[in-house]
Structures are given as structure tokens and as C-alpha cells.
Amino acid sequence: MKNFKLKIAYLAAFAMIFTSCSKEEATTGNDPDNMATLSFGALLNDLISDRAATKGHIGFLDGVPECSEGTAAYVEIILSRDGANVVGDDGEGNAYRVDLVNGQMFTEEDSELELEPGNYSLDYFAVFTADGTMIWIAPMGGDDDDLSNFVDNPLPLAIDLRAGVKKYVEVDVLCYDDRFVNEYGYLFFDINENEAIKFCIFGNVCPPSDGGRHFPASYSVNVWSGDDSSGTVLYNEVQNVTGTYDNGDFYAEPLCFALPDTAGEDEYYFEITLLNSDEYGDVVERVIRRGSITDDVVRTFFDGENNLEYFHFREGCDGEDNVPIFENPLDEEMYYKTCANSLNGSNSSVFAYFQVKGNVLKATVLAAGVTPNQMHPQHIHGLDSGANATCPPASADTDGNGLISIAEGLPFYGPVLLPLDFENGDFPMASSDGSYIYQRTFNISGLSISNWENLVVVAHGRMVDGSYQATLPVACGEVSNCTN
């Protein structure tokens, strides 16, 4: 499963070109028809200090060109006087082209820019490559939320043109660096890093009226941060996409979420609501799955470097959810879970889910960060007295070798009550990426448990000094009741 991390970061590279070699060259004579010559010059500079100010201005980048390595060849301008265009705007919205001096950042002499003295306004200015690609543009001022704050002199730019002057006008222009992150295509502006991980949901529904037939489910999802609905809303009533192919087959797409992945443990609370559908008709629209998961649980759905498994619920169907990480509020089962923290420096994460109804136990264990390609014993432990079992503290290492053995942990979590193995007695084998998913249904009629919340789950198996020690505890977690 693809390790999908959204890097939610802001990045901008603005280029402001400005320079001027403004100079006045006195003319001889006192000719009343003497004209003035107007030119434009520029020098490329980085505007690093204003990057952060782009936050919230994404919509105002429309029309601003992407920064490129292209060579500037000409500019297009619109110049007005007393509200009437005198250069540019031919009635069809086309600006006037002025070529740049070859290899320089200022314009060539142009007869259209030999103008009568007076006050002019530069209303539009953009820089292009020889093939017509815009690479810089001068921003317009006037709006509180525009991009004019990135330059010293936004348009419109007042020009006082006097007789006999060959005037070079400073023009500030900008571009932006349009970057994409993976498949999301978010536009970023400078370095405010946040990471996200991807979690996807797909569902089937088997309405009683159709005798157990499976249909792609139509559903909506709410997500909050934390372990219940009192946390911050992350997503509200997001509905999956459904439709019908041209051959008449009904389909539904998985619904995926980018969840914030900060330092430490993150927890997310989900509620999945089944909706009516044109395919399977009306159903009771209700919450069919709910519960909290952590970012480490989400990572157990990663399948290698490039793939992602989704959580697959089956509502009203004979089959079970592919991994029962959420409860069905109408089920009669009791739900328990534990997030087993690492022991003995293993960096392993193990999550156990238990559904208990009468004498039937459905156990699911998700593990990540365990020793690859090795079998990992795992057990439910409890104290003989029935008191609350706990995970051993660092002080349990009584022999001082830096590792807590099974024997050193027994006073805290007690003997094995139930091995979480397969029917043949084998324990789960970790994949090459150090993860596994274990599921099994047990008949626990012979198991006496007065309180599931007094139990502990322990997983084992780790390399020590180049040798695999299958019995060494690597994760321990205390069981809690998650039935609402």
C-alpha cells in the first residue's frame, strides 16, 4: 500500500524585475514639435522576503505566469493618457508589442513610443519569450487582496514625459513557481510543513429485501480529530461517488481522506452513514460504523511502497469487514481493543481488536515495525487473581541486561490465557516490510474471563545480537472497552 503522505507545505518563488537608468538628454533648439522618447528597462531579482505573504492569495495568481528559464524577447504594453489608450488596445483587447534589445533587459527604440510631452499611465505590462510565452507580468494595485504588495510600484504607473527626454521607466514584474505534490496538485507557498497520510473506505450493502445480494454501497463519512465526535471536525458528510457504466453496471468509488499526521500519535474518530441508492433502493439511513483509529493503524493498510488497501465494510452481508477496526452500533457484540506500545527497543506497533458475543471471540491483530520474514508469537495475558494486568515498566529488567524477558514481565501481565495463533498452532509470519494482519474466530466457552479490560496483549519476536529471539516481548498493550 502506498505510503501516502500528504506534504502540506507552502512554496513560492517570485521574480521582480526592476531597474532604471533614467536619464535626461537635453536637446538643442526650441522646437515646439519636439517629441519625447519612452523606453522600459528591467533587471531580474529574487523577492525572497515576501514569500510568506502569498498565503491566502491563491485565487489572485490567475493570469500570473509560471516562472521559467525562458529568455525575455519582447514586452506588451497598454499606455493611456487622460483615460484614453494611446498605445496598445486595438479595440480587440490586444496590447502593443515592443521588442527588447537582444540580450538586454530594456526595450528597443520604437516609433510608437515617440510621444508628445505630457502625463501618461502605464496600464498593462507583460514580458514574453520569442515564442509568445508570458514569463513575467506587472501586477495591478488597488485591491486589498491582490499581489501588488510584492512589488514597489504596481500598475497603473504614472509617467511624466517631458520634451526632449529619452526616458527609461522602471517596471516591477513578477512570476510564481507552480509546483505539484504527488497526485494532489496542491499549489504551495513557502515552507510550513505538515504531513498527511491517506486512508480509504469502500463498502458493500446487502439489503434484506434482496436476499443477501451484494451492492456497492452509497454512504457518507464524518471524521473528527480525537477519539470521539467532540473533537475538531476534519471532514463533514463527505459522500462517495456512485454511478452507472454505459453497460448498465452500477459502481461506487472508494472514498479517501488525507488525515493529519503530526509528531507523536494522532487519533481520528469516524462515523459512516449508509445512504439510499437508485441501485438497491431505500434503506434505513443510519450510522453503520463508528470508532477511533490512530495514524499507526492507518499505516497497517499500506501495502509496500506503491499500493494502498482500503477498509472494506460489508453491511448486512454474510462476510465480515476486511479488518474490523470500527464497531456497528446495532451489533450485540462487545468491542475491545488495545494499542500495544513497543517494548525492548523494538519500535513495533501492534493493534488488537476483539469482538465478543457470548462464547464467540473474533480477534484481529494488525502489526507494523516487527522483524520481517519471521514468525511472531502473540498472546492474551491475565493475572490469576483477576486483577488488572499491566505492561511491565523499565524497572522490570531485574537482571540488568537491558531487556525485559517473558519471566520478568509475568508479575505484571500474568500467564497466557489465550494464544492468538492459527488452528495449526502457527503464529503469524511478518512480510518483507515488517507487517502482518492476523484474524481468527475462537470458541471461548472454556475460557473464564470476568473483565476483558483487565487483560493485556503481548507480541513477541526480535533480533538480538544477530540472532532472532522469538519469545522476547516486543509490544504490550492493555485492553480497553470501545463499545459506546
pTM for this model (two decimals): 0.51
Q: Where do runs of H (alpha helix) occur along 229-292?
A: none
Is residue 73 one of the residues assigned to a domain? Answer: yes
**pLDDT at residue number 191:** 59
Do 233 and 115 share a structural domain? no
* Residue 128, all three cell numbers: 514574453
What residues are paired with 215 via a beta bridge? 205
146 with 75, same domain: the answer is yes
CATH code of the domain covering residue 382:
2.60.40.200
The alpha carbon dihedral of 237, 238, 240, 241 has a sign of: positive
275 with 218: CB under 8 angstroms? yes
Residue 48 domain boundaries: 5-170
Question: Are 238 and 279 in a shared domain?
Answer: yes
pLDDT tens digits in sequence order for the chain, 484 residues long: 333 222 222 222 223 322 233 333 333 343 445 677 777 765 333 333 343 344 344 455 667 888 888 899 999 999 999 999 999 876 677 899 999 988 888 888 898 999 999 999 999 999 999 999 999 998 887 655 467 777 888 899 999 988 878 888 889 888 887 776 555 544 555 656 788 999 999 999 998 877 778 999 999 999 999 999 999 999 999 999 999 998 888 999 999 999 999 888 899 999 999 999 988 988 889 999 999 999 989 988 988 778 889 999 999 888 889 888 998 888 878 889 998 889 999 989 899 999 998 889 999 999 999 999 999 999 999 999 999 999 999 999 999 999 999 999 999 999 999 999 999 999 999 999 999 999 999 999 888 888 999 999 999 999 999 999 999 999 999 998 865 4
Indicate whether 325 and 336 sit together in one domain: no
Q: How far is the first Cα of the chain from the last one, in angstroms, to the nearest whole number?
A: 31
Same domain, 379 and 318: no
Same domain for 23 and 131? yes
3-state secondary structure of 339: strand
- Asked whether 301 and 1 are in contact (CB, 8 A), the reply is yes
Same domain, 9 and 140: yes
For residue 433, give the nearest of 338, 286, 306, 331 by alpha carbon.
306
Which residues make beta-bridge pairs with 315? 205
Residues 269 and 323 in one domain: yes
Whole-number pLDDT of residue 180: 60
Among the listed residues 338, 463, 471, 473, the one whose alpha carbon sits nearest the alpha carbon of residue 396: 473
Could you tell me which residues come within 8 angstroms of residue 83 by beta carbon, excluding any fewer than 6 positions away? none
Q: Which residues pair with 303 in a beta bridge?
A: 307
All three cell numbers of 377, joined, read 508469537
Q: Find out whether 327 and 362 touch, Cβ atoms under 8 Å.
A: no
Residues 374, 428 within the same domain: yes
- Residue where one domain finishes, among candidates 331, 365, 397: 331
Same-domain pairing of 471 and 357: yes
432 and 364 housed in the same domain: yes
Q: Are 13 and 162 within one domain?
A: yes
Question: Of the candidates 331, 349, 381, which is a domain's last residue?
Answer: 331
In the chain, the number of structural domains is: 3
